[in-house]
Structure 1
Amino acid sequence: PQLGGPIWADPIHDIEFVQKVLSAVSTNPSRFGTSKRIEGMLSMMTEELPDVPLYYALDHLCSTVHCNTPAMLQFRSALLHAGYRVSMSHASRNGLKTDAPPGVIWDLLRCWEKANPVKRERLSETSPAFRILSTEPTLQACFDVREDANPQSRKRHLVRFQENPQANWGPKARAKDSGGISSELEDKRKLCQNKRKNQVTDASQLKNFPCKRFRKGTCTHGDKCCYSHESASDEADKME
């Protein structure tokens, strides 16, 4: 993993100041157009572990070992069951702060992978995933959801992260040739319809296509390869 620095190791929030701002926003919500989001963000700050400067991104950890991602509630509960403190991070929806050492984090993921196995045969022996999962965990993880793993800001359904202002929000389809901007995603869908209609589905027809790996000298299938191994000169003779 990559790590930058220097890193601020002291608490990043002045909780007393945060509480004052939170109180001011809560008593006069109409003063700001984003008061709901401000309240949610400040509430999360009051719930964060003050003595843990960095956070883990759970989806990135799972991506490292190529396993599916457990629910945040489950993983936070597992840390609590193991005897460690844990909180969310206001900086990332999938972030969590904990005083558990990195070895415990990987042990929990090893236990999770045992219940949700990945295809080990697809992992390279030199990959981080293979090396991490080849080590047996030193603890038995429990992913049963605990009540104290669910923060108050989540229980109160506060707006903690920026939400999309409308459905299908984001980059739209490109400009039309006739001018103007297409605001309907349906236009793009229509252009892509039947895009793969003429795909080759009969394996015997693949012999009509040259094998790219054979040309590079890297194909190991030999006569069993479903693509053609004829050289360019052989194809030219056929054309004649």
Structure 2
Amino acid sequence: MSSFFRIPFKRANLHGMLKAAISKIKANFTAYGAPRINIEDFNIVKEGKAEILFPKKETVFYNPIQQFNRDLSVTCIKAWDNLYGEECGQKRKNKKSKKKRCAEINDDSSKRQKIDNGSPKETVGNSDQNEPYINILEALSATGLRAIRYAHEIPHVREVIANDLLPEAVESIKRNVEYNNVENIVKPNLDDANVLMYRNKANDNKFHVIDLDPYGTVTPFVDAAIQSIEEGGLMLVTCTDLSVLAGNGYPEKCFALYGGVNMVSHESTHESALRLVLNLLKQTAAKYKKTVEPLLSLSIDFYVRVFVKVKTSPIEVKNVMSSTMTTYHCSRCGSYHNQPLGRISQREGRKNKTFTKYSVAQGPPVDTKCKFCEGTYHLAGPMYAGPLHNKEFIDEVLRINKEEHRDQDETYGTRKRIEGMLSLAKNELSDSPFYFSPNHIASVIKLQVPPMKKVVAGLGSLGYECSLTHAQPSSLKTNAPWDAIWYVMQKCDDEKKDLSKMNPNTTGYKILSAMPKWLSDTVKSEYDSKLSFTPNEQSGNIEKLRKLKIVRYQENPTKNWGPKARPNTS
């Protein structure tokens, strides 16, 4: 049959039509008319616009719970395409054109004429709205589900490399690609992910989008990905090793993998996990004069997922030191204090020109013991200290989720959760790392838990801002110092606390009894004159969000759901 279809190049159109028809037939039948795929050997898993043949004997890893991850990834790549894709594609096109001009100059005139008149010109970018240009690498593809969804659901995708190291996985990818009729876009590939990326980097075949979703840590793949991504490209990074990134038992492993230590035994540990991953990406990119801009950073179920834009900018690399911090957090009361590693100052020069001076930071911000409860400080970091999200990007993701994916709940089954989590992320304070739980603070100083709107109104009356956080329910981010937080919390109790009835050895007693030491008379007098629990703008914003009935968690689609074990290939 193969010799029959050796059609000359001049009949390319007819050849293409026949090839498309044959590939469609071959999805179900061989040359002899027998079924190519025995459907009885597989469970058909439908997600998005893809249908995956999942073996009844599990030899390839598949996790249905990460549909939220995949729905969100599709939406975020669409948002990146709308906001930055044309710029990214145009830079690549200019680079290709420059190389081509150099080749033409060095070539003889006859070859130049041939190139000008006969050779097809490569088109990159999306100046034509229907022109596919996006090259995507899914470095650890497993069943190929994500790659197939990208091919089906993202408009401007030209090619998706669906790579895996396991031969069984690649066979599954080939089978699913054929079953979904996306052979023209999705290319199954058997290779080590790092080798594949370095090889493409060496050949200057870079990717607009790189998706890294490993089983465990992403650390081994970061360096190769940073080097093989296009200028302004999008990286999607997942880490599922939260026992290391956000747990209490492996600080040495956390440091070995991510170059920092998480906030062990602290309620903000899930945000510190995000900041450790972003710091890893930033430190790796800085070695190549590149910067990483966080577009969206989420702590989700049993993993973290970050979306970042990578670009070359030696000037912005200088800011990496000042956007990196260590954190001192008290092991008893939970108060925390951040210490940046660098300092940036603006100075006036000659002819009224300002110049930027980079210097080391001054510190530390705390004494050897916690001034509130005399507890011991633990050290976390170094980690990323800047904003976790780009609000313009989140707005575009929310718009696509609301408008373009409307009435597509069967395809995007987690639309409500995307809306809920990203609405919270969008409204988070960008300059206030970490959060606290009023429930936890109330338990420390032995008070009834006050309504959240009362706490927010109190802090707002003192001139401080507050927001919710996507990472933990019933918690607040604020730019208020901890003396204001303790002051407002103890004032939330209508009855004055009788210290004589408290155990002197408790953390709450130490905090309240030491208040004259850590809260000066001047500051206390100022707080007393300003404090009010009347609803204000800050509490109004919080209540408006809470009334939206935000969906933060996915409904359990199966019994005993969660991260599955690594596949057994024996």
TM range (shorter): 0.5 to 0.7
User: Does structure 2 retain, via aligned residues, the 8 Å contact 1:37–1:158?
Assistant: no
Structure 1 counterpart of 2:532, one-letter code: C
Does structure 2 conserve the Cα–Cα contact (< 8 Å) formed by 1:44 and 1:160? no
2:508 pairs with 129, 138, 160, which one? Answer: 129
Tell me if 1:20 matches 2:20.
Answer: no
Q: Distance in 2 between matches of 1:106 and 1:87?
A: 17
**Aligned mates of 2:474, 2:445 — CA distance in 1:** 17
Tell me the TM-score normalized by structure 1: 0.61
2: CA distance between counterparts of 1:75 and 1:107? 10
> 1:16 deviation in Å?
2.2
* Partners of 1:163 and 1:119 in 2: CA distance: 44
Distance 2:501 2:509 in 1: 9
1:39 pairs with 2:429: no
Structure 2 Cα separation of the partners of residues 91 and 108 of structure 1: 23
Task: Quickly say closer, same or farther: Cα 1:121–1:101, change in 2 above 3 A.
Answer: same
CA distance in 2, matches of 1:123, 1:164: 43
Report deviation, 1:52. Answer: 0.8
1:147, distance to aligned residue in structure 2 (A): 4.6
Change (3 A) 1:164 1:124: farther
SS of the equivalent of 2:474 reads: strand
1:125 aligned counterpart, secondary structure = coil
Structure 2 counterpart of 1:154: 546
2:487 aligned partner:
107
Residues 1:164 and 1:77: Cα distance change in structure 2 (over 3 Å): farther
Q: Is contact 2:437–2:475 with CA below 8 Å preserved after alignment?
A: yes
Q: Measure the CA separation in 2 of the matches of 1:52 and 1:148.
A: 15
What 5-or-longer segments of structure 1 have no aligned partner?
172-240
Indicate the structure with greater strand content.
2
8 Å CA contact 2:429–2:467 kept in 1: the answer is yes
Query: Equivalents in 1 of 2:506, 2:395: separation in Å?
Result: 46
Deviations 1:38-96, CA, capped at 9 Å, x for gaps: 10111111111111111111111111101111111111111111111111111111111
CA distance in 2, matches of 1:87, 1:145: 15
Aligned 8 A contact 1:120 1:130 in 2: yes
Aligned residue number for residue 532 of structure 2:
142
Range with greater deviation from structure 2 (7-16 or 77-86): 7-16
Q: Distance in 1 between matches of 2:555 and 2:455?
A: 26
Amino acid at match of 2:436: Y
Partner of 1:11 in structure 2?
Answer: 387
- Cα pair distance change 1:72/1:6, threshold 3 Å: same
1:68/1:116 contact within 8 Å kept: no
1:120-163 C-alpha deviation (Å, 9 max, x unpaired): 444221322112222256122322222542334334x2424327
Structure 2 counterpart of 1:154, one-letter code: R
Native 8 Å contact 1:88 1:95 kept in 2: yes
| In structure 1, C-alpha distance between the alignment counterparts of 2:468 and 2:419, rounded to whole Å | 16
Letter aligned with residue 97 of structure 1: K
**C-alpha distance in 2 between matches for 1:25 and 1:57:** 30
Contact 1:67 1:117 in 2 (8 A): no
Matched, 1:86 2:466: yes
- More contact order relative to length (CA 8 Å, sep ≥ 6): 1
Q: Does residue 52 of structure 1 match 2:432?
A: yes
CA distance in 2, matches of 1:74, 1:84: 14
* 1:186 alignment counterpart: none
Unpaired runs of 5+ residues, structure 2, are 1-329, 332-377, 561-570
Shift in alpha-carbon separation, 1:147–1:83, aligned structure 2, 3 A: closer
When normalised by structure 2's length, the TM-score is 0.27
Give me the identity figure in percent: 29
**Aligned amino acid, residue 388 of structure 2:** I
Cα distance between partner residues in 2 of 1:55 and 1:40: 19
**Structure 1 letter corresponding to 2:381:** G
Aligned amino acid, residue 71 of structure 1: P
Calculate the aligned-residue CA RMSD, in Å: 2.6
